[in-house]
Amino acid sequence: MSKWLTGWRIYPQIAERLRDSIQNGVYPAGTYLPSESALCEEFHVARNTLRRALEILEQEKLIAAVPAKGRIVLGDHRKALDQEHLYQSIAAELRERIALGNLPAGKVPSESTLTQQYATSRNTVRQALTELEAEGLIVARHGKGWFVRTHVSQDEGGRLDSG
């Protein structure tokens, strides 16, 4: 494959090269692509050209933009990152597990476990847990972890209600 990109529409060629790198494991699921500036330098293109290429991969659900982090290769995380911040996806999934009784009153998986499960930072996991705590669904016990509240039910509208 030629090192140089040529032609009027270069961004589809960049998208193709990045797609190949993802499929060949150069960028495995759960890892971040290099920064925009590094990719611009690698492909010798302007940032807008690179962003058009990245947009193609985002539309194909191969990557997703994570605010303040970069672009993550999705793999099995496609559902969780579809059109929202990762911490919101984690909170939504845990909220659903609580509502379905799959995460009954008791200990929530550790921050370390959730960090590995979602291939994200501890801060992102904490942000999701803090959101659930603000909703009254879980409580933090210093030195012990996070726990599902014992009185969590749904109101007539299907919204979670902690009593």
**Which pTM value belongs to this model?**
0.48
Residue 104 three-state SS: coil
CA angle 45, 14, 124 (to 5 degrees): 95
Query: What pLDDT is recorded for position 70?
Result: 87
> What's the average model confidence in pLDDT over 109-119?
87
The set of long-range contacts for 13-18, using a CB threshold of 8 Å and a minimum separation of 24, is 13/53, 14/39, 14/43, 14/45, 14/49, 14/50, 14/53, 15/53, 15/54, 15/56, 15/57, 17/43, 18/53, 18/54, 18/57
- Distances, alpha carbon 20 to alpha carbons 27, 67, 163, in Å: 9, 24, 51
Query: What pLDDT is recorded for position 65?
Result: 84
11-75 belongs to CATH 1.10.10.10: yes
Q: What is the pLDDT of residues 52-69, one digit of tens each?
A: 999 999 998 899 888 778
86-162 folds as Arc Repressor Mutant, subunit A (1.10.10)
User: In the chain, where does the domain assigned CATH 1.10.10.10 lie?
Assistant: 11-75, 86-162
Q: What is the pLDDT of residues 7-31, one digit of tens each?
A: 668 999 999 999 999 989 899 888 8
